[in-house]
Structure formats: C-alpha cells, structure tokens
Structure 1
Amino acid sequence: MSMTRDDLAEDLAYVRTLAEEGRNAPLIGGRYLVLFGALLTIAYGMHWALIAGAFGPTHWTWILGNWSGFAICAGIGSLMVGRRVRALPGRAAVVNRVDGAVWRGAALAIVAVVVGSVAHDAINDRGVAQNAIMAVGFAVYGVALGATAVIAQQAWLRWFSWLSFVASAVLWTFLNEPWAYLVAAAASVAVLLAPGLVMMRGEPSRVV
C-alpha cells in the first residue's frame, strides 16, 4: 500500500516529536546527587570532628572506619537508587544516557585520585596527599555539572558548576587546614544535595 503525502508528513512529525521528547526528557539522576551529597556531608563532617579531637585522641583507624562506612553506604545506596531509576521513563533518552556516562566517568576519576593519594601517603608515610582528594573531587563535580547543564539544556545547573569550581579553589588554597573538611561538607550540600533535590522534583513519577 502506497503512502500519501499527508501520511508521510504525519509520520515525519511523529518521528520528530519522539526525537524532541528524548532530547528534552527530564533528568533522572538527581537521586544519585542527593545520596552522595548527604553521605559526603556526613563523612566530611565526621572527618573534621575526628581530626579536630572532638571525640578525644583519634587513631587513624577511626578515620579509616569513617570512610569505609561511607563506601559501604554509597555502594548499597547506589544499588537501591539504581533500581528506582531503572523503573523511571526516560532512562533511554539521549540526555540521560549521556548524563549517566559523564557521572560514571567522574566517579572513576575520583576513585583513581583516591587510590593514588592513599598509595602515595602509604609509601611515603605522610597524610598530605589525601587532603587533596576533596579539592580534586569538587573540580570534577564542576565539570560533570557543566556537561549535564549543556546536554540537558538546564542553564540553572551552570551556577552549581561554577560553585563547585569555587569550592575546589578554596579547598586547594587551604589544603591542610582541618576546617577545610567543614567547607567540603557545606559544599557537598550546596553543589550535590541541593541540585539533586531540584532534579528529583522534575522526575516522572511512574512508568507510563
């Protein structure tokens, strides 16, 4: 059966609509930002309390326990969030696939920095390199948030991207100050938790 010109026009309009819907699909990664924003706020705050002597003399195993707890909670939380996100419509949209790839790359970059910093301090019997992890981390968050802002056409995210870069610069400047961990805790709320909550408000509520 041959197609009329009107049929062809309707089909093309339908395909264009699907493409636009995919391009403009709502971001569904906000839950990850909320998860890591909350966990990092707690972990950075606890790290500061430990090195500041809030609980008395601190052994390095306490700090190890703090970040081990963070890693365990992050792993379990990511599995739970991933299950919820996979049930949302729009996960196959280009914007969400690119956003996911960007943040996975960011996570791997931070893991590489963590492993290298810990190994450096273990070999050289120093604890300085590990203090740089959070400064690098916020620079990476700035790149990821900026990329998300562009691909999702969400200009408001650029403000959080710039704020991440500012936080990174401050943390580099005061690299070995104990209170820098409080700055990192506050920055985690500002550049991860806050935009994550905004993104969650725009998520589709159920599979359609």
Structure 2
Amino acid sequence: MIDKTEDPAADIAWMRRLAEEGAEAPMQGASILMSAGLIFGAASLFHWAQITGLAPSSGPIQGLGWLVATVLFLLVLAVLIARLKRAGGVRTARNRATDTVWSALGWGIFALFTAMMALGWRVGGEGVEVAFGLIPSVIMVFYGIGWAVSAAMYKSRPLWGLAVGSFAAAPLLAALTGSANQYLAYAAALFLLMALPGFLLMRGARG
C-alpha cells in the first residue's frame, strides 16, 4: 500500500495556475478574424460588382475573386500564425478552446467549398446554383457558432451579440438568394461581424 503524502507547496502552485487560467486575458487570433472579414468581404463586393456589370464577369474571370481571396487569406494566415507563435505569452484554457473552435470552423468552411465543387462536378453547374446561394448563410452560421463559443469562454455579452447577429444574418442572406444584393449584404455582414470585431479585439488586447 502506498501512502499519499501531502505537498502544500504543490497544492498552492496548482491553485495559482487555476487562478491564472481564470484571470482576464485577451482573446488571441483576433487579427486572423479581422483579415478573414476584410479579404472575403472584399471578394464578396467584387462578386457583387461582377453580377451588376460593374466588373468583368465573363470567361475565366468569373469566380476569380474568390480564388484570389482564398490564396491571399492562406498567405496572410501563415504570416499571422507565425507572428502569434513568436509573441508567445500565457495561453489559458479559453485561449486554447477559442483557437480550436475557430480553426475547426475554418476547416469546416474549406470542406464545405470542397463539397460544393464535388457536387458541381457530379451534377453540373445548374444543379448546384441554389446550393451555392446558401453558402453565405452557412458560413454565417459557422461564424455564429464560433462567436457563441468565444462568448461562453470569455463570458462576454458583446461576443454573444456577435453570435446572435451572425445567426440572424443567415436567413436574411438566404432570402436574397438569386439577387445581386445577396453578395452586397454578405460583404456588409463580413465587415461588421468579423473584420470590425477583430479590429476592436486587437485594439483592446494592446490597450
């Protein structure tokens, strides 16, 4: 039989770590959220301009904006992740939780686009027109989940507001399917519910 020995110093250190985990700490990765909102918001504006005839939309140019935005975001993402790793600092449990959920949502969006491409290849372009029209709504649902988890982890009412706003934007965008205004509204949603909050969170972390 092994006797269990008490170690008051270790117990105090453990409780101190728990206190640090619960202490106020800024949300990490806000620069990634801001970049995603800006880049894909601009791509949505460009797509709207194509539909309305304000930008070229024939031949290989059709859909080019989304491809360019994706490549640009991946490059920016690599730079930002490297910068965050160099910055170091204390990573609390909620930091890790929010990082994980936003990363998972990013992969989920990538999987969604891949699935749409596979569907288009299988049934043809016309068969997926409605499905592609729902992509902005599905992405806003994803963002709503991300904000909801972040709000719960950080106990933040403003972040809950972003979650509600993202969920509310989903049916509104779906109602605009088939209209050029859908992509104008989608751009506004990305700027207001991703880029602006990301910027404000960055500024708060520096303050």
Instruction: Decide: shared fold, TM above 0.5.
Output: yes
Letter in 1 for 2:36: F
Q: Deviations over 1:22-81 (max 9, x none)?
A: 23332111011111010011000000001111135x215213321111111111000111
Letter in 2 for 1:192: M
1:105/1:91 CA distance change after superposition, 3 Å: farther
- Residue 47 of structure 1 corresponds to which residue in structure 2? 47
Which of the residues 134, 145, 148 maps onto 2:147? 145
1:135–1:168 CA contact under 8 A, matched in 2 = yes
1:42–1:185 CA contact under 8 A, matched in 2 = yes
Alignment partners' CA distance in 1, 2:205 and 2:13: 24
Letter in 1 for 2:172: V
2:30–2:201 CA contact under 8 A, matched in 1 = yes
- Residue 81 of structure 2 corresponds to which residue in structure 1? 82
- Residue 106 of structure 1 corresponds to which residue in structure 2? 105
- Residue 186 of structure 2 corresponds to which residue in structure 1? 184
- Residue 96 of structure 1 corresponds to which residue in structure 2? 95
- Residue 120 of structure 1 corresponds to which residue in structure 2? 119
Alignment partners' CA distance in 2, 1:91 and 1:155: 24
| Greater mean deviation of Cα atoms: 29-38 or 195-204 | 195-204
Alignment partners' CA distance in 1, 2:85 and 2:204: 16
CA displacement at 1:161 relative to structure 2 = 0.5
1:89–1:204 CA contact under 8 A, matched in 2 = no
TM-score w.r.t. length of structure 2: 0.86
- Residue 135 of structure 1 corresponds to which residue in structure 2? 137
Which of the residues 157, 170, 178 maps onto 1:168? 170
Alignment partners' CA distance in 2, 1:13 and 1:203: 29
2:148–2:159 CA contact under 8 A, matched in 1 = yes
Aligned residues, how many? 198
Letter in 1 for 2:41: T
Letter in 1 for 2:171: A
CA displacement at 1:91 relative to structure 2 = 5.5
| Identical positions, percent | 23
Letter in 1 for 2:44: Y
Which of the residues 170, 195, 201 maps onto 1:193? 195
| Greater mean deviation of Cα atoms: 26-35 or 15-24 | 15-24
- Does the residue aligned with 1:128 lie in a helix, a strand or coil? helix
1:19/1:120 CA distance change after superposition, 3 Å: same
Alignment partners' CA distance in 2, 1:28 and 1:86: 11
Letter in 2 for 1:97: R
TM-score w.r.t. length of structure 1: 0.86
Structure 2 segments unaligned to the other structure (5+ residues) = 1-5
